[in-house]
Amino acid sequence: MNITYTYAITAMEMEPTLDGLTDVITVVKFNYTGLDADSGFEGVFNGSYPVDAPDPINYIPLADLTEQDVIDWIIAEYPSWEHPNEVIAKSINNQIVPKTENAPMPWAPPSPEPIPPTE
């Protein structure tokens, strides 16, 4: 596999005041996505990570934060990328060669046909 990884911040939690600072980010939620250039399939790891209290000297106010600032925190602080990389690789492999598929339930009623919109 030839996987390229990207990050996207999906949510953050904050404390209104912490150690004399305001609007301090305490938790970052993110998607870590791997795209396999060979197959075109991708896998996503949904992560959530508590952020250490900031150093008052290097504190960036919430209004001045960029997504890249937060991504840089996660890259630096996340304990190991081994598990997220395994999750992504497994997801991609399962799309290339599915190990399981949804089984039909012969006793279940058929799904209703969608009703076309009226003009």
Q: What is the pLDDT of residue 116?
A: 81
The reported pLDDT for the residue numbered 100 is 76
- Taking the alpha carbons of 57, 63, 67, 70 in that order, is the dihedral positive or negative? positive
How far apart (Å, rounded) are the C-alpha atoms in residues 32 and 28? 12
Question: Tens digit of pLDDT for each residue in 8-29?
Answer: 999 999 999 999 999 999 999 9
Q: Is the pTM of this model over 0.85?
A: no
Cα–Cα distance for residue pair 49/71, rounded to 1 Å: 11
Residue-wise pLDDT tens digits, 68-108: 999 999 999 899 999 999 999 999 999 999 887 788 899 98
pLDDT of residue 113: 82
Q: Residue 90 has which token pair?
A: 């497994």
Parse the chain into domains and list their residue ranges: 3-96
